[in-house]
Amino acid sequence: MGPLRPCTVVEHRSQQASTTRLHHHPIARPWRPLLRFSSFTSTRASADSARTETTQGNRVQEVDILRGFALLGILLVNSLIMAGPHLGPQSGSSVGSHADNVAEWLVTALVTTKFYLLFSFLFGYSFTLQRAAADRAGKALAPRHLRRLSCLLLLGLVHGVLLFPGDVLMVYAVLSLLLFALRNTSPRTALWTAAGLVACAAACLLAWGLLTVAYSQPMPTGAFTTALERTSVARRATPGSVVSSNLQWLRDTLGWEIIYGSDMLAAILVGMIAGRSGVLASPYRYRKSMIRIVVLALPFGLTGSAFMAVCRNGPLDPRWYDVGSAVGLVTAPTLTAAYACGLLLLLPTRAGRRVADMLAPAGRMALTNYLTQSMVMALVFTGYGLAQYGRYSTAVVLTGCFVLYTTQLVVSRWLMGRVRYGPVEWLLRMATLARKP
């Protein structure tokens, strides 16, 4: 992969003639206050979408780079769920060292919720590219979209029941229906809807959290230990017990799926608006704006995320968990934006080009890599394989994550140099197109 060019998609022949007009078009500055988007009419949005919808077989490389980056964050968070708390040899009590506690605290503060929001943003952005592909092929979007989300739903169901109950593919499949219904929404309406979704989800979670703090008592140590022991036995036993445990998880976390699904839909809508403008097709035009985002969003996002970690991982007691999560819902998007802009700012540099060479291939087969991560962790930590649930410290688990992620980067680069799609991406594309890719 050579050095990144300022624009990585094939643009319309007429774009050169309209460069000056587009430069002064309001959407050419997407990082202005979001409500400025409301000045667009649906006609202008369609025109901007047309510029984005010119991949002609090429990919927007920045989308793949950000996907490859997000894979690491997803792996770090999911690994702590799959591995379980480090349990002592005599009981189910947690025996994490100070280093383990610090590592878990940092993952909560810097990673948790940030990277599924980045994936959600990219999901919405990619929808505009898929819509463009349907237009170029002269095909109706609805059948393609329905086949795609049906395949995602099936993959997510298998993944959630057999491997990892924290699956997001089923959520994406459901949200895809809403995204399709909102596909022609004006930028102003979409952004107000996104803000409303985040505000409502955070308000509900905050209210529940404050009630919990005010009226509940901390869980007795004995009850907590018993719950950990029961979970560890189920995760370590047979494949059947693992499936049963996963199904129980899916039932117990339905409320959380609704809360965080609202947050994900908000990010998807913002990604759709960004996709209409082709922000990631030429992000370097907005360098000054991205610098401002990093400078302003980073401290705000870090402050809220630190508070979330204090509530979830201490020193506050577990009753504050939902209060911290509510604050995290509001501040996590700013930290996600800071991460994404920081990475995009790095790309034009020599070091950035090396980073792009590593991340982009993994991003091209992000779905395959995501499912592979779950498969590897299931084989290590559950009754499918080594049954090591609760037997490794957080520091060891996170070290293993970096080894697995590095391996995925190497394998992805090798594979993408030989084939066009990853295995699961090929399957999803075949389902979408209803023919062999």
Each residue's pLDDT tens digit, 136-174: 989 999 999 999 999 999 999 999 999 999 999 999 999
Residue 256 located in a structural domain: yes
Distance of CA 104 to the CA centre of its chain: 19
pLDDT tens-place string over residues 241-288 = 999 999 999 998 888 888 899 999 999 999 999 999 889 988 888 899
Taken in order 154, 257, 270, 302, is the CA torsion positive or negative? Answer: negative
Among 279, 333, 329, 300, which Cα is nearest to 31's?
279
Residue 16 located in a structural domain: no
Query: What gap in Å lies between CA 350 and CA 148, rounded to an integer?
Result: 37
Residue 36 located in a structural domain: no
In this structure, are residues 325 and 307 in contact, taking their beta carbons and an 8 Å threshold? no
Cα dist. 14→17, 20, 187 in Å? 6, 12, 25
Query: What gap in Å lies between CA 416 and CA 365, rounded to an integer?
Result: 8
List the chain pLDDT tens, one digit each, 437 residues.
443 433 333 333 333 333 333 333 333 333 343 444 333 333 333 333 333 333 334 578 999 999 999 999 999 999 999 998 865 444 444 555 788 889 999 999 999 999 999 999 999 999 999 999 999 989 999 999 999 999 999 999 999 999 999 999 999 999 999 999 999 999 999 999 999 999 999 999 999 999 999 998 877 766 667 777 788 888 898 999 999 999 999 998 888 888 899 999 999 999 999 999 889 988 888 899 999 999 999 999 999 999 999 999 889 988 999 999 999 999 999 999 999 999 999 999 999 999 999 999 999 999 999 999 999 999 999 999 999 998 899 999 999 999 999 999 999 999 999 999 999 999 999 999 999 88
Q: Alpha helix (H) ranges present in 216-286? A: 221-236, 239-252, 254-277
The parent domain of residue 355 ranges over 59-433
The per-residue pLDDT for 222 is 65
Total domains in the chain come to 1
Residue 45 located in a structural domain: no
Residue 35 located in a structural domain: no
Residue 28 located in a structural domain: no
Residue 144 located in a structural domain: yes
DSSP annotation of 57 = T
Residue 27 located in a structural domain: no
Cα dist. 426→148, 167, 346 in Å? 12, 20, 31
